[in-house]
Structure 1
Amino acid sequence: MGLSRLCRFLAWLRGVPGISPAPAPEQVPAPAPISTWTPDLQRIATHPRRELVPPQAPVHSKQLNLQWIIPDAANKSGGGHMSIFRHVRFLEAQGHQQTLWLRPPWFHNSPEEALKTFQAYQPLSAGVEVRFLPDDPGQISGDAVIATDWWTAYPALAVSHVRERFYVVQDFEPQFQPMGAGYLLAENTYRFGFKCLCGGNWLAQRLREDYACWTRAWPLAYDPEIYFSQGSVSTKHSAIPRIAFYYRPSTPRRAVELALAAFELLHAQGLHFSVDFFGEPLAFTPAYSYQDHGVLTPPELADLYRAVDLGVVFSATNYSLIPLEMMACGLPVVELDMPGTRAVFPAGTTLSVAPDPVKIAAGIQSALSEPAQLAQIRQAAAEHVATLNWAASCTAFEQALIEGLTA
Structure 2
Amino acid sequence: MFWRNWNTMLATMVSSARAQIGRRSRQARSILAAEGYRGIIDRARSKASDWLKPQTEAWPVFPDDVLAADLSHPPDIAEPPLEEGEQITVNWIIGPAGPGSGGHTTAFRILNFLEKLGYRNRVYFYDPYGGDLQYFTDIARDYYKLNCEIANARRGMKDAHAVVATSWASAYAAYNAKCSGKRFYFIQDFEPFFYPTSTNSLLAENTYRMGFHGITAGRWLADKLTREFGMKTDHFPFGCDTAQYRRSAGSERKGIAFYARSHTPRRAVELGILALEIFAKRHPDVELHLFGQHLGALPFRFTNHGPSNPAKLNDIYNKCFAGLCLSLTNVSLVPYEMLACGCIPIVNDGPQNRVVLENAFVRFADPTPISLAQELEAVMGAPDREDISRKAAESVTLTSWDTAGAAVDAALRRALQP
Normalising by the residue count of structure 1, what TM-score does the alignment of the two structures yield?
0.82
- Change over 3 Å in CA distance of 1:381–1:340 after alignment to 2: farther
User: Percent identity at matched positions?
Assistant: 31
Contact 1:277 1:293 (8 Å CA) reproduced: yes
SS at structure 2 position matched to 1:302: helix
Tell whether 2:317 aligns with 1:305. Answer: yes
- Change over 3 Å in CA distance of 1:250–1:305 after alignment to 2: same
Larger mean CA deviation between 383-392 and 57-66 belongs to 57-66
Distance 1:55 1:350 in 2: 43
- Change over 3 Å in CA distance of 1:217–1:191 after alignment to 2: same
Contact 2:239 2:403 (8 Å CA) reproduced: no
RMSD value, Cα = 2.3
Q: What letter matches 1:152 in structure 2?
A: S
Normalising by the residue count of structure 2, what TM-score does the alignment of the two structures yield?
0.80
More helix by share: 2
Name the counterpart of 1:254: 267
Q: What letter matches 1:366 in structure 2?
A: A
Give the drift of 1:95.
1.9
Match 2:339 to one of 313, 327, 337: 327
Aligned ranges 1:257-406 → 2 under 5 Å: 257-269=270-282, 271-282=284-295, 284-346=296-358, 348-372=360-384, 374=385, 378=389, 381-406=392-417
Gaps of 5+ in 2: 1-57
- Change over 3 Å in CA distance of 1:260–1:121 after alignment to 2: same
- Change over 3 Å in CA distance of 1:206–1:377 after alignment to 2: farther
Give the drift of 1:286.
2.5
Name the counterpart of 1:130: 150
Aligned length: 358
Match 2:248 to one of 190, 205, 230: 230
Contact 2:246 2:341 (8 Å CA) reproduced: yes
- Change over 3 Å in CA distance of 1:159–1:87 after alignment to 2: same
- Change over 3 Å in CA distance of 1:41–1:66 after alignment to 2: closer
Aligned ranges 1:151-166 → 2 under 5 Å: 151-166=169-184
Distance 2:130 2:286 in 1: 40
- Change over 3 Å in CA distance of 1:215–1:40 after alignment to 2: closer
Contact 1:48 1:158 (8 Å CA) reproduced: yes
Distance 1:56 1:335 in 2: 44
1:337-378 alpha-carbon deviations (Å, 9 max, x no partner)? 111110012263212111100111111122212234x56764
Distance 2:61 2:233 in 1: 28
SS at structure 2 position matched to 1:209: helix
Give the drift of 1:107.
6.8
Tell whether 2:247 aligns with 1:211. Answer: no
Match 1:45 to one of 50, 66, 72: 66
SS at structure 2 position matched to 1:371: coil
Match 2:202 to one of 184, 207, 220: 184
Give the drift of 1:106.
4.9
1:245-287 alpha-carbon deviations (Å, 9 max, x no partner)? 11100000000111100111223335432211111111x2123
Distance 1:38 1:337 in 2: 33
Distance 1:182 1:41 in 2: 12
Match 1:98 to one of 121, 138, 159: 121
Q: What letter matches 2:145 in structure 1?
A: P
Tell whether 2:211 aligns with 1:193. Answer: yes
Tell whether 2:88 aligns with 1:67. Answer: no
Contact 1:52 1:164 (8 Å CA) reproduced: no
Give the drift of 1:129.
0.8
